[in-house]
A = this chain, B = another copy of it.
Amino acid sequence: MARRGQYAKGAAKRAEILAVALEVVAEQGTRKASNREIAARVGLTQPGLMHYFSTREELFLEVLRARDERDHEQFYSPLQGFQGFLHVITHNASVPGLVRLYVEYSAEATLEGHLARAFFEERFTWVRGLMVEAVEIEQAAELMGPDVDTAYVADLVIAAADGLQVQWLLDPSIDMADRLSRLWQGIRAASWPVVVA
């Protein structure tokens, strides 16, 4: 029992560190987010911090995972479908450090054997599933036609969202939510058979 108590305490501290690292990265980006500051904010020394995460790479990967969980809970509503996805995108525009972390790690994950590869493979599967759900919600509400190719829509919307992040980081005047919202309107419009007058 003592052991389980120990474990629970360790897990709670890990969660606390992740919540703090999430804030620091959102504010400052991965390059400037120092171990010292993260450790100080959770009342640990730097070696104490590295007891919970053996490398910065591991810490930042877990930040990405914690961020997905938080965003999904806080901004995504399955009942709203695509609107829930847009809420996440709109929120992203306020956390450039996390957007950059995602862009950087998703690029590196394409290397065979990279620490983040399995995470991104699973994440793409998960987000594709959310997109298929979003299409089905629209079909049930007759906002989209019955013959939508959901695999195509999922690949495309996710790709556009990912690509827009790079453009937005280079030029913050790009309105990611506007671009994606119009893409979705286009997919809706194209999902109905053309009526010839």
> Which residues of chain A have a CB within 8 Å of any CB of chain B?
29, 31, 100, 103-104, 106-111, 117, 120-121, 124, 152, 155-156, 158-164, 166-167, 169-171, 174, 179, 182-183, 185-187, 189-190, 194-197
Known contacts A103-B110, A106-B107, then 4 further A-B pairs from the complex at CB < 8 Å, ordered by chain A residue = A103-B107, A156-B183, A159-B161, A159-B164
Nearest Cβ on chain B to A86's Cβ, whole angstroms: 15
Contact B162 A158 (CB under 8 A): no
Given contacts A164-B155, A167-B158, contact A104 B103 (CB under 8 A): no
Q: Please give me the 8 A-B residue pairs with the lowest Cβ-Cβ distance, nearest first.
A: A159-B163, A162-B163, A110-B169, A163-B163, A107-B107, A159-B164, A186-B190, A160-B160
Which residues of chain B are within 8 angstroms of A158 by Cβ–Cβ distance?
163, 167
Residues of B contacting A179 in the complex (Cβ-Cβ under 8 angstroms):
152, 155-156, 159
Protomer copies: 2
Question: What are 6 of the A-B contact pairs (CB < 8 Å)?
Answer: A100-B111, A121-B170, A124-B171, A152-B179, A155-B167, A189-B194
What CA separation (Å) do A170 and B120 show in the bound complex? 8
Instruction: Tell me which residues across on chain B come within 8 A of A111, comparing CB atoms.
Output: 29, 31, 100
